Chains A and B, each alone.
Chain A
Amino acid sequence: MKTRTFRFKLTIALVAGALTCGAAAAIAQNAGKSLIGKLEGPEVVTDPAKFPKTFKEAPQLAALVKAGKLPPVAERIGQDPLVIKPLHEVGKYGGMWRAGFTGPADFWNGFRCCSGPDHLMFWDYTGDKVVPNLAKGLEMQDGGRAWLIHLRRGMKWSDGKPFTADDFVFWFEDVYQNKDLVPVPSAAMAINGKPGVVEKVDTYTVRFKFPEPYTMFPDVLAGSTDLAGQMQGWRALGGFAPAHYMKQFHPKYVSQAELDRKAKEAKFDSWVRMFLFKNDWALNPELPVLSAWKTVTPINTPTWTLERNPYSIFVDTAGNQLPYIDKVVLTLAENLEVINLRAIAGEYDYASRHMDLGKLPVFLENQKRGNYKVYLDPGDYCDLIIKFNLNYDADPEIGKLFNTADFRRALSLGIDRDQINETFWLGTGTPGSMVPVDTNKYNPGPQYRKLWATYDVKKANEMLDKIGLAKKDAEGYRLRADGKGRLRIEIMTLGGQFVQYTQISEMIREQWKKIGIDLTVQEVERSLALQRTANNEQQLAAWNNDGSEHLFTFPVHVFPFVLADVATSGPLYVKWFHSAGAQGKEPEPRMKELMEKWKKAFGVSEKERIQLGKDIWRIEAEEVYIIGVVGQGPASMGVRVVKTNLGNIPSRMYNSPDGKTPGISRPVTFYWKN
């Protein structure tokens, strides 16, 4: 009798539990879709006729002007303001923006939220078009061999000194060409391997000259590349640097002995380390900047504070000097759980970095209490990809299989993407191949989303049977063709990332049992991953493909492009690509074709480039060098938690590393409504 009652109660409890979970999941999924808004954002006004004629400033700056400590606002801005039309309305000054960061390695956090953004050119809010930013305009000359950058007249650094062409020349001649500071030249400053030069035309005009047409130059300036402005200062790159300030740390202007003494006094190992430190936007509060907010307490302290730059070039359509918000305060939380918990508790005013999609239900539950609203910003790229190492040779049989297209295709067909999407993305992602979203200009066509990316166990089994893996052992796993027993392959994953690679790989392991493939999941620590990939020891690897929607500025996870990477498609191909055939191994024809097209795109017209981009993605989708699993999800920095009384917040933002989200939505226009 007792057992029966107990079992009855247990069943009821379990059913109730399952229903609740199911309901919660359903709520989360439906809520998920409803949290994705419409893409919108502030626009940059380029018509000088529409520029405001008079300017206003924040009250504390006005007080300083009155006290004679600052020049008047019109003088600080100059004749060519950067006018931004706020998304919803003109805002009010005041307030503080609180957020969290995870330590000195988290500088991208500051670049994304608070740099302005401060590239010379930048993307509009759709992520598609390049618009003027710190530069007034860009002019192409000589068929793309020369680019004139028009600076803004009267524009000043944050300490009041003028920002002119001299800052570019200083950077090019004294910094970029100094072998101690920059031992290897940047690929962004060259076209087809041939380097370019920087010349001064007049005070407010600079020319970048290249030996061949470099039609992608505007995109390179807009993207997060080596010419992206002061965010690259700590690597001695960026395109320009505050000459009047950095000269005191440079051996051309100060004697070497004096410089060494200064470095030793400040406890640096060498003048090079001191120079790079002083040129670091996040580390040096004394560095003159052009961004909207300026570092006041640096990133290597428990609180990273940024305050408004009184010489900010950004203004709104009514003439108010931006930003509206006075101060940004980032507090240190070394653990991701703590950051998420603080966001849930409503301690952050705007947070999207480090927010865990898996905690979405808890975020939603606490919205009212924390006075915030949750938004989801799916990326345009594939959230989860699995790379085949095409150069793997430690085991020739496996290496051969990796290079057999049908093997890769069959494995792709053996993945139940819907199940993965439901479990890990709460249904908010799009299962499919690795091609970017349909609206991306390089997308080869809607049919490529599902090409080799459906769940077809029957077809997968047929294909694997045909390539010589028809024999199976007693447990149903396929045997190797060379008679050495069961076919075992290994996937390498990293823990503690935005996407749960290890857990997802475990799920794929279960799924691949049905097609007879024995997969081992190996989670490693980051440095070990790097070592493995560089030594060609990795077989499969899971990673994400963010950035690839900007195929030409961020090809890292599209084809083998960089040696130092946590997941590789072929380290020998990387060497071949960068040495123009001198080292490494020559890729198979289709991969070679892909690489050739990529290189070509930098010097051709926009129309031709788009076609080349489409071809590249088409080859990727057909050859399945990389398996795409779930894409266009908000797992990577796509969960946005914003206080309800912050104004000018878009309902959906373009989520991309190139777009420095939220930078692409011009956070200078965010303001406190009350």
Chain B
Amino acid sequence: MLAYIGRRALLAVFTVWAISVLSFVIIQLPPGDYVSSYIAQMASMGSVVSDEEAQNLRIQYGLGQPIYVQYWKWMKQIAEGNFGFSMEWRRPVTEVIGERLWLTVVVAVAALLLTWVLALPIGIYSAVRQYSLGDYLATFIGFIGLAVPNFLLALVLLYLGFTLFDAHIGGLFSPELQDAPWSLARAWDLCKHLPIPALILGLAGTAQQIRIMRANLLDELRRPYVVTARSKGLSEPRVIVKYPVRMALNPFASTIGYTLPFIVSGSIIVSLVLGLPTVGPLLLRALISQDMFLAGTIVLLLGVMTVIGTLISDILLVWIDPRIRLEDT
């Protein structure tokens, strides 16, 4: 068991390094660099950057150097705990990401929890009451959530919220509490604002999980041991929950790995539309303006999260399912 984890951990480190190289290279791929995107941005605002100034900026940002030099410089800085300087935000990358990162995690976890809270019971109900009205209704709503682009959903909900409920547009906090220091009031304010973003982000995933749960449970419910349990007089809820549901939970555990980063990156557009101060919009901007240290660090972070998540789900699987434990170790 320990050897298993050890092996996985080693592979994880190697994967993270490969991700860092890849992300850095890919960010540099589009034509131009931060300065050219900056010039274009200035042009959009009616301001002009002279050619000499552009040259000057390139020298100052060290953009003229070859890519491996820049990468090595970045790696050295990371070893010191300095993730580089964001050219767009003119602040150290750690500062820019820091305040948003854990808010991102909060939103992602909320979305994930909502997904499970909705998907599990509905999935179980769908399987147990197969082909009933409830089953069809749940499936229908789930598929709508899957089919409608979530940013559209976000815009519609925002507009409805404004016209019907006079709600504040977007964001995770009310304007008064936006920059206030942390307090119970602020935490409660956050909880009040969480449902809509969590719902929108989770809806697509919910449909998927409902169907998976339903399918797996249906398979399990047809097994002989279930029949035996019923015939032995076990109550119906216990029959369903004790073993079949545990078996059907397998895919849930295995998808934790990529669900978290999936929600983080998949939520970029929704975060943009809803004005959530999360990492998603930050990454989008950084990629567009080729702010390479910021973009590189975020992608690296997402990579690390994925790897750690996969590691966790591997361990979880081994714990839940004895069959895997036996065949691997």
Using a CB–CB distance below 8 Å, which chain A residues touch chain B?
A: 98, 103-106, 108, 182-184, 187, 224, 235, 267-270, 272-273, 277, 280, 283, 297, 300-303, 331-335, 337-338, 341-342, 344-345, 347, 494, 497, 525-531, 546-547, 554, 556, 562-566, 578, 636, 657
Contacts and interface: CB of A to CB of B under 8 A. Distances in A.
B232 interface: no
A531 B170 contact: no
Contact of B169 (A183, A302, A342, A494): A342
B98 interface: no
B242 interface: no
A430 B32 CA distance: 37
A524 to B, nearest CB: 10
B37 A337 contact: no
A564 B171 CA distance: 36
A108 B171 CA distance: 23
A227 B57 CA distance: 19
A269 B46 contact: no
Interface in B19-65: 30-33, 36-41, 43-56, 59-62
Contacts of A105: 38, 41, 88, 289
Interface of B: 30-33, 36-41, 43-56, 59-62, 82, 85, 88-92, 96, 155, 158-159, 162, 168-171, 175, 178-179, 272-275, 277, 281, 285, 288-290
Given A184-B53, A267-B85, A269-B85, A345 B41 contact: no
Contact of A497 (B44, B90, B170): B44
B60 A528 contact: no
Contacts of B96: 300
Contacts of A104: 88-90
A417 B20 CA distance: 51
A563 B53 CA distance: 11
Nearest to A529: B40
Contacts of A565: 43, 48
B294 to A, nearest CB: 11
Contacts of A531: 31-32, 36
Contacts of A273: 60, 85
A331 B51 contact: no
B178 A335 contact: no
A260 to B, nearest CB: 15
B50 A297 contact: no
B90 A277 contact: yes
A529 B90 CA distance: 25
B272 A334 contact: yes
Contact of A300 (B49, B91, B274): B91
Given A104-B90, A331-B175, A526-B40, A267 B45 contact: no
Contacts of B48: 554, 556, 562, 564-565
22 contacts: A105-B41, A108-B46, A270-B60, A273-B85, A300-B90, A332-B277, A338-B158, A341-B170, A342-B170, A344-B162, A527-B30, A527-B36, A527-B37, A527-B290, A528-B31, A530-B40, A531-B32, A554-B48, A556-B48, A562-B50, A578-B51, A657-B45
Nearest to A269: B85
A331 B174 CA distance: 11
Given A347-B168, A527-B290, A184 B56 contact: yes
B174 to A, nearest CB: 11
Contacts of B170: 333, 338, 341-342
A268 B169 contact: no
A231 to B, nearest CB: 10
A389 to B, nearest CB: 16
A657 B47 contact: yes
Given A342-B169, A525-B288, 10 more contacts: A105-B41, A106-B45, A267-B92, A273-B60, A302-B179, A331-B171, A335-B275, A342-B170, A345-B162, A526-B43
Contacts of A106: 45
A344 B166 CA distance: 12
B52 A527 contact: no
A627 to B, nearest CB: 19
B39 A183 contact: no
A188 B301 CA distance: 45
Contacts of A497: 44
A649 B171 CA distance: 30
Given A184-B52, A338-B170, A530-B32, A300 B60 contact: no
A295 to B, nearest CB: 13
The 9 tightest CB contacts between A and B, nearest first, are A184-B52, A526-B40, A527-B32, A657-B46, A300-B89, A335-B272, A267-B92, A183-B56, A531-B31
Contacts of B37: 526-527
Contacts of B289: 105
Contacts of A529: 40
Given A108-B47, A337-B155, A337-B273, A235 B53 contact: yes
A494 B85 contact: no
A184 B62 contact: no
Nearest to B271: A334
Contacts of A562: 48-51
A234 to B, nearest CB: 9
Contacts of A283: 90
Given A272-B60, A334-B281, A527 B31 contact: yes
Given A345-B162, A345-B169, A103 B285 contact: yes
Given A272-B60, A338-B169, A531-B36, A563 B179 contact: no
A577 B318 CA distance: 72
Contacts of A345: 162, 169
A494 B43 CA distance: 11
Contacts of A270: 60
A562 B47 CA distance: 11
Contacts of A302: 178-179, 277
A338 B290 CA distance: 24
A542 to B, nearest CB: 13
B169 A269 contact: no
